[in-house]
Chain A
Amino acid sequence: MALATQQPDARLNDSLRIGTHTLASRLIVGTGKYASYEQMAEALALSGTDCITVAVRRERLVNAAGQNILDHIDTARYTLLPNTAGCFTAEDAVRVARLGREILSGLENPGADWVKLEVLGDAKTLLPDPVATLEATEQLVAEGFQVLCYTSDDPVAARRLKQAGATSVMPAGSPIGSGQGILNPNNIRICLEYLKQDDPDYPVIVDAGVGTASDVTVAMELGVDGVLLNTGIAHAADPLAMAVAMKSAIEAGRLAYQAGRIPKKLYATASSPEAGNIAAKPR
C-alpha cells in the first residue's frame, strides 16, 4: 500500500521548467477580473500557483493615491509573468514587453526576463495574429526575452514559433475568456508531437478557453505541461471554490497523464471474473 500511496504524491512534486524558470505548480493564473484585490489574492493562494500573469497599462494619474495591484501581490511568493494582452501589432507588443521588463526589474522579481506574448488579430475573437506573433517573437528573442507565445492550436504555427526561439508555445484551448474548454484536442496532440519531437522537455502550455476544472484535466491528460487561465476562476460564481477545484484538476490531469490511461474500446470488458459465475449467459 505504501508504494501505491506514496509514489503518486512524489510524482506531483515534478516541477514545471520553462526556460530558466522552475515552477512548483503547473497552473499559471491571471490576475484580472476579480471582484476585489482581496478576492484575487485569496484565489491565487488557494489555486496553489506560484506564477501569475499581469498586464501593463497606463497609470491612472488622476488617482495616483489609488491602490496598485503590487500592494496586493507577494512578489517573493509569486513569479510574475508580464503579458502583452491587448496588443494588435508586433511593434506595440514589443514596446509593452520592454515596459513590463522595466517594471519587473525594479521589483527584483525573477519574472523580469520573460513575457507572455499576445499579439491579437481581431478584437471580436481575440484570436492571435500568427504573422505578427512570429515577428514579435523574433524581435523579443533577439532582445534577450524568454518568450511564452500565446497562439492558436495550429500545429504548423506552433512549430514556427518554436523555431523562432520561443521558450514555450501556448496554444489556446478555445478563444480567450470563452469558457469553451479544449475545442480541438487532436490539434493539441499534434502540437505536442511537433514541439516535443526530439525535445520531450519543451514546455507546452494551454493558454485560454478554460471554463471549468474538467477542461484543465482534459488538457493535462493530453500531455501538456501546464495550463494558464484567468476568467475560469475570476468569473466563477464562487471564485475561491473554483480556485481549489482548478488546483485539484491540474494535479488529477497530470497524474492521469503520467499514469497512462487505458485505451478506448468499442465494446465492454467485464471487470469481474467469468470463472465461477453461477448466472446463465444470455444467448
Chain B
Amino acid sequence: MNAMTIYVAKDFTRMPCVRNREDGKNSGEEFRDEILLPALRTNDQVVVDLDGVLSLGSSFLEEAFGGLVRKGYFTAKELGAKLVLKFQLASYVEETWGYIKIARKES
C-alpha cells in the first residue's frame, strides 16, 4: 500500500482562505485540484495534515474536500477508505467530514 502525507501549512499555505481560484490565491479549489486530487489518484492512503495552519474557514474546507464529491472525483465512501484528516482540533476534522458526507455530485 502506498501512502503520502500532505502538510498544508508547509506545502500550500498557513492561511487557507477563499473557495475558488477566481476569488484569490491558495483557494480550496486550487488545493483540491493541484495537490489533493493528484495525491488521492496515485496513493492508496493520503493523510492531510492541517497542523500549523492559522485559519480554517468553511469556504476553503468545503471546496477542497466537499468539492471532491461534488465534482464527482470520489464518493464519500471512497474518501472514507483512503483519506485521513489530521488536525489538533477535532471539531474542524468533523466539520470537514460533514462537508464530504453532505456533498452531492453535481449533475
A and B, one complex?
Answer: no
